[in-house]
Chain A
């Protein structure tokens, strides 16, 4: 390792279950299967649903022609190992990017597996969180949570990969999106963990006392965000999406220090439904609430 190389956490664990992280969902834990079985309607057993939808969301999901089936989740506890970085060079930390990506994919695949177990067409209100615990240094838990839903008209709304669509849209947003003649295809994301170079003494002296642009920093941050967004769009293209709505760009240093940042881009890939669609004219309202 050269003197300006520093170790940072990176994926050295691979897929914890030894599986292909981008492949089909893994088998469910027995407890999950038991919980989901209790939700199903079958002869001699009246099913019920659980959901984290608010009452208004529930109403609008029903209005959109879907019925909630159950609250579904997936998680992955991932160990992030070591990757070297150059003190004076801006660069993507590819192994870390891969680790952050794979861990989220695992969590989402497990959530999808629960939704498929329920025969769902989609999952709405998906939340994707990362938690760190004191008991595991360089270890993080990635969790995906949402409410599985099924279309009441019997049509399949699964995407071109045969999976239930997932979406971080609220019940209200889900209804509104359907009114525009679009359907969600999947929660798409792109991530890029980037090391921003430290400035050397020479660079610092050359610009001492000046207020001026630092093109290297601009370029590095630009590149990192664009990479994350390009990867998100690649996922959307793989789903044959026409667009992505609600894109947000999150930036976190997690546990890596100031100069190493994860850029995470997230949004819901959508496709236009067939045929002409007229968007209802909005009504002007006056709220009678105080």
Chain B
């Protein structure tokens, strides 16, 4: 196992040593043992990706061409009702999917994930539980690092699956999932990124001012409550794209423990980069649900 060519040399050395290591907390470790799983090693995968925002500059301030998008990708445009007013007046607004961000994120995450699974396979694991992932920018390098870690486990007496299963779950949550009649298949994750280049109306709305009396396009007065159409559409598009991709990864299985995070970064005055990240564990039913015993009622003393 220590000489597996797919692994970094240091990883081979570590995984070949005697004691197993586990990132599980003690309660999760106890649950793991009670389910008949043995931890066999802490496994990890990393990938550092160059992260260029080269395509994020605004392309249509004064009526330039809309941002380039490919077939099937999300894009929308808006035109201001005022005509030419001045150099800083945004005549056009665009929402468009940033495929370069999405593909870079997918490549980095998948590389790190595969490396973690490679480590688990090298030690004969049946699965990886308690997976945690992270992505952060490395300060001063123009690069971002993807990290994925988990605890590799075996199920003594069981045949090894073709590929180790992976799950974000561990401990009592994993126990409850199996009690409910499901087994984990793999972790799934998807990021969608939409760039919003606001036009003048969006800028006014985001600044809390109104162009209602001027353009007649807004119903609210100064300080009124109203939805900002362009931002709302960009956010909905990002969520929809991420959801659809996760759905595609699931096949006929179910998503368990889904989390949805949305990040709105201001990339310029009135311009936003909106990212939506959905993660969860793909699970498959293997038995009917056995009702749990009636729970004991307890009062905590702390």
Residues of A within 8 A of B (CB): 54-56, 169, 172-174, 176-177, 179-180, 196, 199, 204, 207-215, 217-219, 221-223, 225-227, 229-230, 232-234, 236-237, 241-249, 258-259, 267, 269, 279, 281-289
B27 touches A227 (CB 8 A): no
Using CB atoms and an 8 Å cutoff, list the residues of chain B in contact with chain A: 8-11, 13-14, 17-27, 29-31, 33-34, 39, 42, 44, 46-52, 54, 100-101, 103-104, 107-108, 111, 138-143, 145, 149, 172, 175, 292-302
The answer to whether B39 touches A243, judged by C-beta atoms less than 8 angstroms apart, is yes
Report how far A154 CA is from B296 CA in the complex, Å: 35
Q: Which residue of B lies closest to A217 (CB)?
A: B48
Which residues of chain A have C-beta atoms less than 8 A from B25's C-beta?
173, 245-246
With a cutoff of 8 Å between Cβ atoms, the chain A residues found around residue B18 in the complex are 233, 236-237
A residues near B100, Cβ cutoff 8 Å: 211
- Grouping DSSP codes into helix (H, G, I), strand (E, B) and loop, the A interface class, with mixed when no group exceeds half, is mixed
- Nearest-Cβ distance from residue B275 to partner chain A, whole angstroms: 15
Cα distance A159–B295 in the bound complex, in angstroms? 40
> B298 to chain A: closest CB distance in Å?
5
Number of inter-chain CB pairs below 8 Å:
172
Q: Residues of B contacting A225 with CB < 8 Å?
A: 44, 46
A287 to B296, CA, bound (A): 9
A211: chain B residues within 8 A (beta carbon)? 49-52, 100-101, 103-104, 107
Partner of B29, one of A180, A215, A226: A180
Residues of B within 8 A of A209 (CB): 52, 54
Closest Cβ–Cβ distance, residue A66 to chain B (whole Å): 15
Distance A55 CA – B300 CA, assembled complex (angstroms): 13
Interface of B is mostly: mixed
Are B48 and A214 within 8 A (Cβ)?
yes
Q: Which 6 A-B pairs have the closest CB atoms?
A: A226-B10, A211-B104, A217-B48, A173-B26, A284-B295, A236-B19
Chain B residues lying within 8 Å of A55, measured Cβ to Cβ, are 301-302
| Docked-complex contact B19 and A241, CB < 8 angstroms | yes
CA distance A179 to B297 in the complex (A): 23
Distance between Cα atoms of A245 and B38 in the complex (Å): 12
Residues of B close to A246: CB separation below 8 A? 22-26, 29
Most buried by A among B54, B138, B292: B138
Does B17 lie within 8 Å of A233, measured CB to CB?
yes
Chain B residues with Cβ under 8 A from A208's Cβ? 52
Whose C-beta in chain B lies nearest to the C-beta of A223?
B10
Nearest-CB residue, chain B, relative to A237: B18
